[in-house]
Amino acid sequence: MQAAQARLEDVKERFPDLSYADLYTYAGVIAVESLGGPKIAYRSGRVDSMDPKEVTPDGRLPAADKGESGTTRDQLREIFGRMGFDDQAIVALSGAHIIGECHAVASGYIGRTVTPNVFDNAYFALLVNVKWEPNTLPSGKLQYKDPSGALTVQPSDIALIQDPKFKEWVDIYANDQDRFFADFAKYFAVLLELGCEKDDLV
């Protein structure tokens, strides 16, 4: 995250009136599109503030592992549910795990899910078609690896195929990339506007 923030400082210097909140969220939208993903509706107008009354507090995203599979699934529904998202939205938004990598210094997890630089529905296809094996890291964190050891997913990913209601949507998206793209774009646009005063967005 810090590396990405540092690379965006040049943009901030060129457009000083642009808030960091808009800069970072718009960068995410462009990243998804530039990696082959869907075009996402976007509006600017977010503010930078340390006042809790004006911004969403930290610590509101789910952890990768809550110790037991049932607890991990419960926290996905609890955290996303308080944001107004149902099971379908939870699974669709989890599709973003297709890109990027985990780094021990940042999270204690190591490795890449599928394709660090391509946004598609392969995340779902691999979830259902690969035999994932538990893999406890030197950090003590549990993740899962494929038989080759090249790919990795977290307990919160495995939770999506252990829960029948989640898995229904995993199967749908594994077989229909257009449906995944449409749903991801819809829910991600909503996610980016949570906590914003709608009248201030343009």
Total domain count, the chain = 2
Q: Give residue 6's pLDDT.
A: 82
Would you say 141 and 109 are in contact if contact means Cβ atoms under 8 Å apart? yes
Same domain, 86 and 173: yes
Are residues 101 and 38 part of one domain? Answer: no
Do 51 and 73 reside in the same domain of the chain? no
Residues 6+ apart with CB under 8 A from 193: 43, 201
pLDDT at 79: 92
**Mean pLDDT to the nearest integer, 41-45:** 91
Residue 62 domain-assigned? Answer: no
Q: Are residues 177 and 147 in the same domain?
A: yes
pTM over 0.75? The answer is: yes
pLDDT over 80 at 65, yes or no: no
**What percentage of the chain carries pLDDT values higher than 70?**
92
Same domain, 99 and 137: yes
Asked whether residue 73 falls in the same domain as residue 17, the answer is: no
User: Measured between alpha carbons, how far is 153 from 38 in angstroms, rounded to an integer?
Assistant: 23
Span 95-137, pLDDT tens digits: 999 987 877 777 778 887 777 789 999 999 999 999 999 999 8
How big is the chain by its Cα radius of gyration, in Å? 17
Residues 19 and 74 in one domain: no
Q: Domain limits at 9?
A: 2-57+193-200
Indicate which CATH number applies to the domain containing 14. Answer: 1.10.520.10
Asked whether residue 76 falls in the same domain as residue 176, the answer is yes
pLDDT of residue 61 exceeding 80, the answer is no
Residue 24 lies in a domain: yes
Res 86 pLDDT > 70: yes
